[in-house]
Structure 1
Amino acid sequence: MTVWHEQQHEPITWEMFLEIDEDIRRDLEIVDGYVVPREQRGREHQKVATRLSLALEQAAVQQIRSSGRAECYETNTEVDVLLWEVPPTARKPDALLHRCIPDFEQLAAEHVLIVVEVLSTWSGRRDRVHKMADYADAGIPHYWLVSFDKVGTLSIERYALTGGLGRYAHIGTTHRDMGPAAVTASDPFPIEILWEHLEVAPSL
């Protein structure tokens, strides 16, 4: 295993990135061959991402059942998604929905249907500008940006690729004070998520 010393003078390959010790690589991404540290993530940030992943998983299970298992979807949190290999660029979304793939296959943009990034003090510009552009360039159909407070998810901004332009169009924003439904969507399949499913603080 390679230990990362945070000094890089020239780009590396995807294979070299994968050789970095897994415990260290967990907090790293690679962009155009250059390794970059991920933003700081607090406990509430990670809880919100987990709740969203579970909510997407529930919708995915319902779709799998309704299709008679003709379709297969998985959810994940904080795993490498290879956007393109030359120059190597891979991001670790806070949560994502993707088509099922074999265990040995690298998760790549072509498998992914929804990526979710949870906004924080440190990640706002990266999520709204850099990651948004990367996910769009890679052709991932849906991008969600999520804000949160101590109760849980506060708002969800949803973006989608439209017209083959390689950039996202804003398709809607929901806020917790707008009603019980956090997400009601028909694409990539019917998804309904309630705000109460996205709470991280115990109910009083």
Structure 2
Amino acid sequence: MTALPDDSWLLNIRPQPSRVTAEEYEALPEEIARAIEIVDGYVVFCAAPTPDHQTAGRRLTNLLERYADAAMREGHPCLSVNNDVNLRLRDLPLLNRRPDVVLYRCLDRERGERLRAEHALLVVEIVSPGSETQDTTDKLGEYAKAGIPHYWIVRLDRTGVSIIERYRLDSATRSYKHTGTFMKDEPGESPLISNPIPVVIDWAALEV
């Protein structure tokens, strides 16, 4: 996340007895929007990620993009992968997150589609020292309630991605069920994931 250039923009939305609307959020400069999330209409500041966090996000994006391309060659409908991107979960009250990585159905640019929960197939959050509760509790519930089919919680060690916790949506309860945890140090072949697309977890490709 980039540093805020100044705090003059806060005068329009703070103090916040009233919530930020989708229109107000969309009117913000990009450098401001990239530094915040909106939860139930209220601004949540995003701490700047560490270099290792940023690198791990790129590595995961590249890995998923490679397998998304392979899936499309096999006939899967158009897929996109992006990192640190706006994801609209709800309009009222506004809930807008910026996941570390998202795999989603391609958007219709001509119609001006924005990335929303119904497009997302997989959301990935990389846990930072200050984001444990958000990533493992708050966002776990938000993404499930929004109907996103798959959620990964990723943890790092000094060499890169070391743990991937996988969750799959139970559509009946709108909650996630833990489907397994991959650990880099476990012996054996590289883990294979079949949903939402086939992916082989190449730990070497996820080093930072």
State TM-score, norm by structure 1: 0.91
Does the alignment pair 1:8 with 2:16? yes
Q: Equivalent residue of 2:37, what SS? A: strand
Q: Percent identity?
A: 39
Q: How many angstroms apart in 2 are the aligned matches of 1:107 and 1:74?
A: 11
Give the drift of 1:9: 2.4
Partner of 1:133: 141
Residue identity matched to 1:91: R
1:33 & 1:46 partners in 2: Cα distance? 27
CA distance 1:163–1:86, shift in 2 (3 Å): closer
2:118 paired residue number: 110
Matched with 2:87 is 81
Whole-angstrom CA distance in 1 between matches of 2:35 and 2:189:
33
Cα distance change on mapping 1:7 and 1:20 into 2, 3 Å: farther
Choose the corresponding residue for 1:28, options 2, 27, 36.
36
Find the counterpart in structure 1 of residue 4 from structure 2: none
Which residue matches 1:38?
Answer: 46
Cα contact 2:105–2:119 (8 A) shared by 1: yes
Superposition deviation, residue 190 in structure 1: 1.3
Distance 2:73 2:20 in 1: 43
Residue equivalent to 2:167: 159
Aligned with residue 192 of structure 1, among 181, 192, 200: 200
Larger displacement relative to structure 2 (38-47 or 55-64): 38-47
The answer to whether 1:71 aligns with 2:77 is: yes
1:169 corresponds to which letter in structure 2? K
Segments of 4+ moved more than 3 angstroms:
4-7, 179-183
Q: State the TM-score, normalized to the length of structure 2.
A: 0.90
Q: Which sections of structure 1, spanning at least 5 residues, go unmatched?
A: none
Q: AA paired with 2:121? A: L
Matches of 1:181 and 1:123 in 2, distance apart?
Answer: 31
- The alpha carbon displacement at 1:181 in A equals 5.3
* TM-fit CA distance, 1:4: 3.2
How many residues get paired?
Answer: 197
| Whole-Å separation in 1 of the counterparts to 2:24 and 2:194 | 40
